[in-house]
Structure 1
Amino acid sequence: MNNSVFFLAGVVTIIASCVPISFALPPCVCTRGFSPVCGSDGTTYNNQCMLDCAATKNPDLSLARPGKCDTRAKREEPLLCPCNAIHLPVCGTDGETYANECILDCQKEQTNVEVKYQGPCKVKREEPICACSFDYNPVCGTDGEGQKTYSNRCELECLQRTQAVEFLYEGPCRNKREEIQVAPGPICLCTTDLRPVCASNGLTYDNPCLFDCAKESSTLEVLRIEHEGICAPKPVVIGEGGPQCSCPKVKEPVCASDGQTYSSECMMNCEAKELTVTRNGPC
């Protein structure tokens, strides 16, 4: 827009029109008032007018936010910090290992890193690839929290490469409580651990818990533990004038082909040689 100039009685009068700053050419007329704003280019301008003035040369420039820009985000040059060379590594929250805490604190000038823990950062290891078969030959081992049953020995040994896993014994773990029926008697919550004890009734119980359960259900006599381990076999007379058999007094009932339940296979064979076991357990 053109300015108009008039000469009246020796007085020069200039009539000017206002135009937007975006069409004005710098330098711009701005006050020195300090009300800082942050531009989209990361630069702090003293006030909005100064930013608008700079935008005449950079059309992409705009207001990012009121207030000063965060100068730490712009710094890319390496920091010079007065830290010693003592090697006391710490792990930062950014996953990096720093030679000591002073160097990590120095890095805070550029990032918000904090100390995660003392010592170098732990490197994550990939899970090992092991060539194990799918055969189910269970073994019991540890898993860091207790006992765990592994499908086979190879699976357990594979985990030992990266974890503190130990082999305990062959077969599935027996650490879980199971309901075991002691016939006749109540249902007892006992483990399946094999720690046999010999009772005063001549019977061997797999562990003291099963003995205590049988003791509670016994009404004929007061049971007591004679010794640890299985009871010694004693000759047993089957029927008056019948054969004399040397069978251990263990409670391992079997169901015979005659439909009768015998306390063990030995007792069944002692009763009649022609009998066969149809299944383990009572009929």
Structure 2
Amino acid sequence: MLSARSSLFLALLAGAFATSPPFNIVEPAKSCQRAVKPNAWPIKKELQVCATDGVIYPSLDALECANNATGRAVEKQERNKCDENKQDEFKLSFLAFAAKHEVCASDNVTYNNVWNMQEAARANKVELTVQHEGECKIDCPFSPIYKPVCASFTGDFQQTYSNEEALECFQHRNPYIKFSQKHDGACVFNYEHSFAPVNIICGTNGFTYNGVKEIRNLRKFNPKLRVMHDGACTPDEVKGLFSADQIRELAGSRSESSAICGSDNSTYHSVFAFLVAQAGKKAKGQDLRNVKCAKCDETTKSNGTIPICGTDGVTYPDEKTLKCAQTTHIIFKDHDGPCSPSDNTGPCKRQLNGGFAEVCANNGKTYTSNEAVWCAALTDPKIKIFHQGECISA
């Protein structure tokens, strides 16, 4: 039995109003693409198809799409063999994420396609119509400064937002999720956690951690622990903090996200393992250096089929291509899917999608994201990113 908190968390991730699919379909079948076009709703009786599983499908394309997704071979049969009152909503719900054809609905929410919109209408007991194809353009309030707000939803589920503006923007984009109360400051848990991607940082003790939250938790036991810098601790930093015996012991006992590529074309699982190997090579008169393993060239790019819109208004074919562009330009991911003419507005005047991305700058202020620090640097070039995560006070 799921708790109220678990149930709501699942609803937030994959609720009827969500536009992110619960699975990743890289190349949806042509039948699926046709089955989710905006003109597929409302259902037209003359296009409905009775299938041998006893279900009436909205169209032949929808039936073929279902067969393609499940690998089955359900066939069309005579209409009078199906019960006109039988509409298996569970079997038809797969259309909500069978293929992407975004629509902006009358509730100003962007849905993956018209079937996703109808699932939301049914779940929230409202009537929805399509305003236009494509993403809704919502004028969200925006603030770059991290001033966390904790909102409580149904049950005991809580969520921290970067600031009041971020919470208000979330409400604009998700009108069916209502919070019961809120308070200033981040939500408090017995042990801090985040569902964000890991942003590794180096602690002043020479250990590499999976984000500033790990350091904040450990400060309960070691109040002197601080962030040294963003990214993994380097071999030179570790050598200055540990003896050779300690490094050998840690190489076999400590696991951390600090894999190192050596000049011998070997990848070492931690900086400690690298230093042990380096010492062994040195004893044999050989050299082992820490090198950059991958170059951003054509070999690291892929012909992906999930485009990404960058904050420069350019559509990149996939995430690897965007990361390559980021090595020479200040660009961030704006949203999945191709850019539209209205996207080229830059990251400094609007609330970007996403969350859990607070960043500590060298001025001691916590900003809502990497983009926000970059925007602040436009007026004060001395401002730089210190580390990922909220600033830790002394």
Query: Taking structure 2 as the reference length, what is the TM-score of the superposition?
Result: 0.18
Higher relative contact order at CA 8 Å, sep ≥6: structure 1 or structure 2? 2
**In proportion to residue count, which structure has more helix?**
2
Q: Which has the higher strand share?
A: 1
Larger Rg: 1
